[in-house]
Amino acid sequence: MNLIQTLQTNYQQLKLNPMKYCLTIFTLLFVTLLCVAQDIKIVSKTTVVMPRQVFGAIDKKTGKNIIPLKYDKLKKLCKDCKEKLLIATKKDKVGVIGYDNIPVIPFEYDYIGPIEGYLTVKKEGKYGIMDFSGKQIVDIKYDRISLLDNNKMVTKSKKGIKKLMDFEGNSIISIEFDFYDSGLFRRDNEKIIIGNDGKKGIYSLSGEEIFPISVDKINIFEYKKIYEVINNDKSGLISYSGKLLVPMEFDRIESSKAKASTNYLVFKNKKAGIIDKDGNEIVASKYDQVNEIHFADKIFFETKLNNAIGMVDDKGKEVVPNKYDSVIPIEAGNQIYFTVKTGGKFGVVDNMGKEIISCKYERITGATNAGKAYFCVKKEDKYALVDANEKIILPYDYQLLKMSSTKSQLIAGKNDLIGIIGFNGNEIIPYKYTSYTMYSDNLRFKKADDTWCTLNNGVETPVKLEDEVFMIVEDQPKFPGGEEEMMKFIYDNIKYPPAAKAKKISGMCVISIVVEKDGSLSNFEIAREIGEGCGEEALRVVKLMPKWTPGKQRGKPVRVSYNLPVRFKLQ
The 10s digit of each residue's pLDDT in 547-570 is 999 998 878 898 888 888 888 877
Rounded distance, CA 86 to CA 75, Å?
6
Which among 255, 190, 179 has a CA at the least distance from the CA of 215? 179
Of 205 and 139, the structure prediction assigns the larger pLDDT to 139
Label residue 186 by pLDDT band (50, 70, 90): low
Phi, psi angles (nearest 5°) of residue 183:
-60, -40
Has residue 521 got a pLDDT over 80? yes
Of 563 and 182, the structure prediction assigns the larger pLDDT to 563
CA dihedral 348, 350, 356, 360 (to 10 degrees): 10
Query: Measuring CA to CA, how many Å separate 178 from each of 109, 140, 231, 242?
Result: 28, 21, 18, 21
Of 65 and 384, the structure prediction assigns the larger pLDDT to 384
| E strand intervals along 333-426 | 335-342, 345-349, 355-361, 363-369, 372-379, 382-387, 392-398, 400-403, 409-414, 417-422
pLDDT at 11: 39
Q: C-alpha angle 187/191/195, rounded to 5°?
A: 110
- In the chain, the percentage of residues whose pLDDT exceeds 70 is 88
Q: At 449, which amino acid appears?
A: D
Rounded distance, CA 475 to CA 555, Å?
8
Question: In the predicted model, what is the mean pLDDT of residues 345-370?
Answer: 94
Of 147 and 74, the structure prediction assigns the larger pLDDT to 74
Of 511 and 16, the structure prediction assigns the larger pLDDT to 511
Are 360 and 395 in contact by the 8 Å Cβ rule? The answer is: no
pLDDT at 385: 97
Has residue 23 got a pLDDT over 50? no
Of 383 and 26, the structure prediction assigns the larger pLDDT to 383
pLDDT at 294: 79
Are 143 and 162 in contact by the 8 Å Cβ rule? The answer is: no
Has residue 2 got a pLDDT over 50? no
What SS3 class is residue 482?
coil
Q: For residue range 217-255, list pLDDT tens digits in order.
A: 998 875 567 889 999 999 999 988 889 989 999 999 987
CA dihedral 25, 30, 34, 37 (to 10 degrees): 90
Which among 566, 466, 484, 469 has a CA at the least distance from the CA of 521? 469
Has residue 184 got a pLDDT over 70? no
Label residue 364 by pLDDT band (50, 70, 90): very high
- Is the dihedral angle over the CA atoms 127, 131, 134, 135 positive or is it negative? negative
Has residue 5 got a pLDDT over 90? no
Q: For 465, which DSSP code?
A: G
Which among 36, 56, 37, 38 has a CA at the least distance from the CA of 46? 56
Give the residues across from 57 on adjacent strands.
42, 67
Residue 395 CA neighbour count, 13 Å, CB half: 1
pLDDT at 187: 60
Has residue 25 got a pLDDT over 60? no
Q: For residue range 66-123, list pLDDT tens digits in order.
A: 999 999 999 998 876 778 899 999 999 999 999 999 999 999 999 999 887 899 999 9
Are 21 and 15 in contact by the 8 Å Cβ rule? The answer is: no
- In the chain, the percentage of residues whose pLDDT exceeds 90 is 44
Q: For residue range 400-434, list pLDDT tens digits in order.
A: 999 887 768 999 999 999 999 999 999 999 999 98
- Helices 3-14, 18-37: crossing angle, 10 deg rounding: 150
Phi, psi angles (nearest 5°) of residue 534:
-65, -40
